Chains A and B, each alone.
Chain A
Amino acid sequence: MAYKQSRLTMADDREILREIWEGKVPVCFQLAQEEVYTGEQPDPFFLLVPRLSYFPLVTDKVLRHMMKHVDPEHHGEMWLEFDGQPLKWHYPIGVLFDLYGMSTDLPWKLTVHFQNFPEEELLRCSSKEVVQSHFISVVKEADALKHRGQVINSMQKKDHSTLWAGFMNDKFDQFWSVNKRLMENSGEKAFMFVPFRIYRADQIPVQKLFKPCADSGESLTLRHLLKTAVPELMETDALISSRVLIQGIEPPLDTPVCWLSEHLSYPDNFLHICLMPRVEVES
């Protein structure tokens, strides 16, 4: 496999994982005008949130700040919206930002709601345990694709807890002490398939089986992956006018998918890829 030879040293690898881990998005939360009960619009709330996290894990303070200003008799679960688009809590924040916020000014201005929960579009999230069980389930799905579930099944409950706690509490080393086993990619533990999802605004995500290497042993690239997963995009000129974003980065289409999976996956072990129309800059 060509890329293995030119592979970066472990130290460099770790630096990339660190950079990804530390990615943050500045967000400005504002209570929906029509839900202000106390007469005066509360101050907006500013937060720097990790791209890898989920909104319910980082918005406790926003909730407490806004709650004081809504009708105590008529409010339900808090939900977020950007420019008319309700935001799914079960997508990592970085995915939501790449999908909807990439071309707006920073901080990313989100509207906070406590009424009219859009049942059709959003899942309910009653507690952080719901986020945890979603997270662990996606990790299991990823391992089912990579290792037929053998790695995750060989782990104990406490390993799952360590993984979650490391992620939750921003403890990089703790998280990777377990995650390195899930990312094992050599010999018998080589990835069978690469867990990925492709997102486009207004479309259901695309998820398919994709082997990281061809039968000839050649490592397959992001371009191959896109050809397999969204062939309609490759047949036309649509790809030229699309931005392919992973973790807010536009990786070269010749990047081996294995490398991307090992370095740019979210903590749920999936490679979340956003396809965005390229905005023409008028000269």
Chain B
Amino acid sequence: MSDKNDDDAPPSSPTAGSASTENAGTDGKSPTSVDSPSVSPAPGATASTSSKLKSNSLKVDILLKPAGDAPIMKKKKWTVDRTKKISWVSDFIKKYIKSEASESLFLYVNQAFAPSPDTDIGSIFDCFGSDGKLVLHYCRTQAWG
């Protein structure tokens, strides 16, 4: 296990399709874009192999989907550090959809519950990720609950 908890650590260099992330994130902290699904486990991989691979990895794939009247994000799939918090993802989406920092944004897992903002993405991925990715719905008003 890595102890890489430092949020100020320099971002690792983005992989495919990084150019289009430039206006989304600030100071280079945007998640890495993954247009090419090369990070996903190979189709033939067994579930246990792929989850093993993922838990050893420092980054996970997330898929961001709008709910309610929230605008669609052109790029939906991102790779983020496991240690990033829900609040960080929420701030990132707000910047991307050009929402005011003061406006609220709710993030949901399983279209059912809103993890607390200080939860790390890695834990949520481990419990609620499937097919090598974690689906998060974002919404401007409380959607579920």
A265-283 CB mask vs B (1 if < 8 Å, else 0) is: 0000000000000000000
- Asked whether, in the complex, the Cβ of B114 is within 8 Å of the Cβ of A137, the reply is yes
Task: Give the contacts of A121-142 with B (CB-CB under 8 A).
Answer: 123, 133-134, 136-138, 140-141
Chain B positions near chain A (C-beta within 8 angstroms): 1, 5, 83, 109-110, 112-118, 120, 123-124, 126-128, 142, 145
- Asked whether, in the complex, the Cβ of B83 is within 8 Å of the Cβ of A204, the reply is yes
Specify which of A137, A193, A207 is in contact with B145 (CB 8 Å cutoff).
Answer: A137
Number of A residues with CB within 8 Å of any CB on chain B: 23
Specify which of B1, B113, B123 is in contact with A137 (CB 8 Å cutoff).
Answer: B113
| Given A136-B145, A232-B1: A207 and B127 interface contact (C-beta under 8 Å) | yes
CA distance A149 to B124 in the complex (A): 16
Residues of chain A with a CB closer than 8 A to B118's CB: 88, 123
- Asked whether, in the complex, the Cβ of A137 is within 8 Å of the Cβ of B115, the reply is yes
Minimal beta-carbon separation of B7 from chain A (angstroms): 9
- Asked whether, in the complex, the Cβ of B116 is within 8 Å of the Cβ of A134, the reply is yes
Residues of chain A with a CB closer than 8 A to B124's CB: 207
Task: Give the contacts of A184-228 with B (CB-CB under 8 A).
Answer: 193, 204-209
Chain A residue, CB-CB nearest to B120: A204
10 A-B pairs closest in CB distance: A140-B113, A207-B123, A137-B113, A141-B113, A137-B114, A208-B126, A204-B120, A140-B112, A149-B112, A144-B110
Residues of chain A with a CB closer than 8 A to B145's CB: 133, 136-137, 140
Q: Does A90 reach chain B (CB closer than 8 Å)?
A: yes
Residues of chain B with a CB closer than 8 A to A152's CB: 112
